[in-house]
Amino acid sequence: MTTLSPENSLSARQSASFILVKRKPPIDKTEWDGFFDENGHLAKSRDFICVNILERGLHPFVRTEAWKFLTGYYSWQSSQDERLMVDSTRRKNYEALCQMYEKIQPLLENLHRNFIETRNNIAYDIQKLYDKDPLGNVLIDKKRLEKILLLSYVCNTQAEYQQGFHEMVMLFQLMVEHDHETFWLFQFFLQKTEHSCVISIGVGKNLGMLNNVINVLDPVFAEHLKGKGAGAVQSLFPWFCLYFQRAFKSFDDVWRLWEVLLTGKPCRNFQVLVAYSMLQMVRKQVLQESMTGDDILLACNNLIDLDVAELISAACTAYAELVQKDVPQPLKDFFL
C-alpha cells in the first residue's frame, strides 16, 4: 500500500482550493485570445490553461477551439498557420474516408456479418433521438449524424458502435460546424479519455476502480454494497457509457464536465471520482433505508438536473482525500 506521489499532492491542493474559491466566470473570447502571441502560438502553458478550465470552464464562444487543443486535434505547440493546415488535412482525410466507405459498402454488406445489424442499430437509435430545442427548432441533421457514426464504426476498430454513441456524437455535432470536425473530435475524444466510455475496453475497469475507491474512502458504505446492496455498482455502467449525460439539465453542463475530463486535472480517470461523488449523494438514503441493489440503482437513476460545478467540486474533494490515504498500487497507477 502506498500514498499517491508528492507531485500529485499539488494537484490535490489545487483541487481543494477549487472547492473553497467562489465560482469564477468562464474563460471568455477576450481572455482566450490573450493566451496567444502574434503568431498564434500559445503564450500560456498547457498546465496553466487546463487548471483554469478545471476551476472555471469555457465560454461557449471559445469551447470549439479550446476542445481542439484538449482532445489533441491541434498540437499545443502549433501556430495559427499550422492549425489552418491541420484543419485542411483533417477535412481531406475525412473526405477520403467517406469515398473509401462508399466503395467498400457493398463488400461490407455481403461479407461483414455485423455490418448490417450495426447499421440498423444506428438508424434505430438516431430515429429515437429527440432533435429539437424547446421552441421546436431542429438542432441536428440526423442523416449527417448517421453517416459519421457509420464511418466511425467502420474506421475505429477499437471502439465498435454501442448504444449511446449517437447521443455523444450529437453533442460534438452541436458544437462544431463541419462533419470532419465532428468525426475527428469524437475519435480524439475517445483516445484522450482512454476509451473509458467503451464497454469492451474501459467501462469494466472504471467500475472495478469505483469499487476500490469506495473501499478506501468509505468502508461503511462499501460493506453495505458488498452485502445487501450487492450488484448496484456493476449496474452503474450507463454512467460511464454515456459519460454522465443524463445527469444534467443542459448540454452546457455536459460539455463543462467533459472538458474537465479532457484536461487530465486534477488526475487521470477523474470520471471514477465523479461517479463516486454521485454515489455519495444517495449514501445517506441507502444506509438509512438499508436498500437492496435494485433500490440503489433506482435511486442513482433519479440523480438528474445536477449542479455540474458542485459535482466537479465534490469529485475534487474526493481526490484530495484519496491522496492522503494508503492505496493499492493498481489504484495509484489508475489515477496518475
Q: Alpha helix locations (H) across 160-203?
A: 165-175, 179-192
Task: Tell me what pLDDT residue 6 has.
Answer: 44
Task: Tell me what pLDDT residue 9 has.
Answer: 44
Task: Tell me what pLDDT residue 20 has.
Answer: 45
Chain centroid to CA 7: how far?
25
Name the pTM for this structure: 0.92
Task: Tell me what pLDDT residue 19 has.
Answer: 52
Task: Tell me what pLDDT residue 266 has.
Answer: 96
Task: Tell me what pLDDT residue 223 has.
Answer: 96
Residue pair 291/228 in contact (Cβ under 8 Å)? The answer is yes
Chain centroid to CA 250: how far?
15
Residue 62 is placed in which grid cell? 471559445
Task: Give me the sign of the Cα torsion angle 8, 9, 12, 17.
Answer: negative
Task: Tell me what pLDDT residue 51 has.
Answer: 96
Neighbours of 115 (CB within 10 A): 18
Neighbours of 259 (CB within 10 A): 20
Q: Please, what are the domains in the chain? A: 1-23+198-335 (1.10.472.80)
pLDDT per 10-residue tile (average), the chain, 336 residues: 51 51 84 97 97 96 97 98 98 97 93 89 93 82 95 90 94 96 97 92 95 96 94 94 94 97 96 98 97 95 96 96 91 91
Task: Tell me what pLDDT residue 18 has.
Answer: 52
